[in-house]
Structure 1
Amino acid sequence: MPASNPDADKGPRAKGPLAGLLAQPGETDASGQTRPRMPMPLAKARLAGGDVVVAGPEGYCLDPKTVQSRPGRGFALIASCRILSGGAVGTWAEPMLITVTVGPKGANDDLPSPEALAQATGAALLGGESSAGFVTANLDRGGDTILEGGDQRHWRGAFVQNGHLVGLALYAPKDSAFAAQQGGTMLARVKAQIATLSLQAAPARTTRGTAAPGPNKGLFGRLFDGKDLP
């Protein structure tokens, strides 16, 4: 293992409700406590009772400290494997954070428009699309509230997997290409990987799911609240 992590100066540092999660071993977190060496990052995790399987693209892993899985819901944070492990595993990958929130039951008819995603987060819509059961929105502010040194712009996404509404959020350093168009492309990669792994792990479900309220701030507020936590 190298004496120092070459990614350390380039790595994202979470703040707010996620503060301290990505601090390197030996650093202090928001409470002033020394960060112990983190456990090895995870390649994937089963959330919501195994209905939704989450994994990062090549070079990105799950922070085991953030993974939450309960019946019907779950949460995980994706970041560079190398940063999460303090340089122990993985190769260099462009710094960013992606949160994955598995929320209430729903169906494709319940998915919001990009405009509704912006409204739910109180931000202006810079761009986005709704296609093939996947909605994305590039928002003008909010990214720097989660990521230290982050770009104000960030991305949100929503889709249905095995009857669960799944919310994605991507945060990137200031002026990163992931804060602009590449962020939508990355969310699409994550969505495709989740869909492939989840279909392999669970039987096909009906697309209607169980009854759920229509698209509104309350429904998507539970996926996209200000803290990005389930």
Structure 2
Amino acid sequence: MSTWTSRAALAGAALALSACTEQETGAAAPREVVVARGAVLVAAPPGYCVDRTALRDAEEGSFALLASCASLDPNADGPSAQPAILTVTVSGRDPETTPPRAEALAAAAPEAVLATRQRGALALVHLGDGGDAVLPGGDPRHWRGATGTGGRVVALALYAPRESPLAGAAGGDLMAALAARIEARAPATVAAAPPQARSGDGLRATLARLFN
């Protein structure tokens, strides 16, 4: 992997920032979406919502961007949340692909690695720089992670304002909460999208598509 700054994340972050002032009047931001053509449910942690303007849904690759509900919808009710941008990128389905371990993510990261965490299938790395390139005025520190569901690799990222607790250890906890709320749909729904032939397409190539 040549870079961990996803082009989709960069574009989505800009959309989320503009959404604070351009959110469609009267249209509530959803708290969960189904992507990968019905195969994966992305449910936001409490206080966060999905930015509809940044959503991409396709069998071979889906993307969702989450931010605080208040930033996306001034009339949002429910719990408040610390400002942050979270991204979810879902790969195509391949039953032979397994999510990477934290050590593999750390080895692939060009930025300084501050910490790694392995929580079951969820691999997390805390990176020391690069976050402010995605989120203007943001903290250079940010989080990246990967897990799996329904035969797909799910890549996660979190960017927070400078000096935010979420740029530190609290961000890892929020990433874990997000990962725990991402689920495969019912088997009948998943079966409707059969695995695609991927001759010679290993985990490294899958991660390159998700993170680059």
- TM-score bucket of the superposed structures, by smaller chain: 0.7 to 0.9
Do structure 1's residue 178 and structure 2's residue 166 form an aligned pair? yes
- Within 5 Å, give how 1:11-26 maps onto structure 2: 16-17=10-11, 18-23=13-18
Q: What's the TM-score once normalised by structure 2's chain length?
A: 0.81
Letter of the 1:22 partner, please give it: L
> Does the Cα contact within 8 Å between 1:143 and 1:154 map onto a contact in 2?
yes
Do structure 1's residue 133 and structure 2's residue 121 form an aligned pair? yes
Shift of 1:24: 5.2
> Does the Cα contact within 8 Å between 2:65 and 2:87 map onto a contact in 1?
yes
Q: Which runs of 5+ in 1 are unaligned?
A: 1-14, 28-34, 226-230
Do structure 1's residue 95 and structure 2's residue 90 form an aligned pair? no
CA shift digits 1:16-64 (9 cap, x unpaired): 5232432256x5xxxxxxx463642112111101111001111111001
Do structure 1's residue 163 and structure 2's residue 131 form an aligned pair? no
Do structure 1's residue 203 and structure 2's residue 198 form an aligned pair? no
Q: Secondary structure at the match of 2:57?
A: strand
Q: Secondary structure at the match of 1:148?
A: coil
- Pairing partner for 1:37 from 21, 24, 49: 24
Letter of the 2:186 partner, please give it: A
- Pairing partner for 1:76 from 55, 59, 64: 64
Letter of the 2:88 partner, please give it: V
Letter of the 1:37 partner, please give it: E
For 1:222, the equivalent position in structure 2 comes to 209
Letter of the 2:149 partner, please give it: Q
> Does the Cα contact within 8 Å between 2:62 and 2:90 map onto a contact in 1?
yes
Do structure 1's residue 194 and structure 2's residue 178 form an aligned pair? no
- Within 5 Å, give how 1:110-125 maps onto structure 2: 110-125=98-113
How many angstroms apart in 1 are the aligned matches of 2:136 and 2:114? 22
Shift of 1:68: 1.1
Are the structure 2 counterparts of residues 46 and 115 from structure 1 closer, same or farther at C-alpha, using a change threshold of 3 Å?
same
Answer 1 or 2: which has greater helix percent: 2
Q: What's the TM-score once normalised by structure 1's chain length?
A: 0.75
> Does the Cα contact within 8 Å between 1:120 and 1:221 map onto a contact in 2?
no
Are the structure 2 counterparts of residues 130 and 150 from structure 1 closer, same or farther at C-alpha, using a change threshold of 3 Å?
same
How many angstroms apart in 2 are the aligned matches of 1:213 and 1:130? 25
CA shift digits 1:94-117 (9 cap, x unpaired): 001100000133468632232432
How many angstroms apart in 2 are the aligned matches of 1:47 and 1:184? 23
How many angstroms apart in 1 are the aligned matches of 2:28 and 2:177? 23
RMSD value over aligned CA atoms? 2.6
Larger relative contact order (CA 8 Å, sep ≥ 6)? 2
Shift of 1:189: 0.5
Shift of 1:148: 1.4
Are the structure 2 counterparts of residues 66 and 24 from structure 1 closer, same or farther at C-alpha, using a change threshold of 3 Å?
closer
